[in-house]
Amino acid sequence: PFPFLFGRNRQPDANPFALDSFFFFQEDVSDLIATGTCGQVAAFFAESIQGVGGTVTLADGYLKHVYATVRAAGGLCIADEVQAGFGRTGTHYWGFETHGVVPDIVTMAKGIGNGLPLA
């Protein structure tokens, strides 16, 4: 589950994370692992910036806490950098760097060649 509340981002100057705490979303991941699995997970995939359906950034600290939760359950943390990677976030080369995390695996695709074939 990603910290995105349907409809809240459609209001002028809306903050989709305007809840008391973003830990609500991290708790969703913990609950899902506890009730929907045997207590172990294989992996957690996440885009550092949700690029489909608008540009939605994750709450500060979300990935850090979810990565810890997933790793405690034996899972790998995978950063999907197909849309946000290769300097597209403006401040960092990889989108996950803006969250202060280090994934176990990074996925990348079209941006690696900047529109040119690599082979």
- Distance, CA of 42 to CA of 73 (rounded, Å): 9
Strand pairing category for 105-107 and 43-47:
unpaired
User: Model-level pTM?
Assistant: 0.74
Q: What is the pLDDT of residues 28-46, one digit of tens each?
A: 888 888 888 898 999 999 8
- Distance, CA of 13 to CA of 53 (rounded, Å): 17
Task: Please say whether the beta carbons of 57 and 90 come within 8 A.
Answer: no
**Torsion angle, alpha carbons of 69, 50, 3, 92, to 10:** 60
Q: What is the pLDDT of residues 64-87, one digit of tens each?
A: 989 999 999 999 999 998 877 787
Task: Give the number of other Cβ atoms within 10 Å of residue 35's Cβ.
Answer: 8
CA–CA distances in Å: residue 82 to residues 17, 36, 77, 94, 117: 24, 28, 15, 10, 16
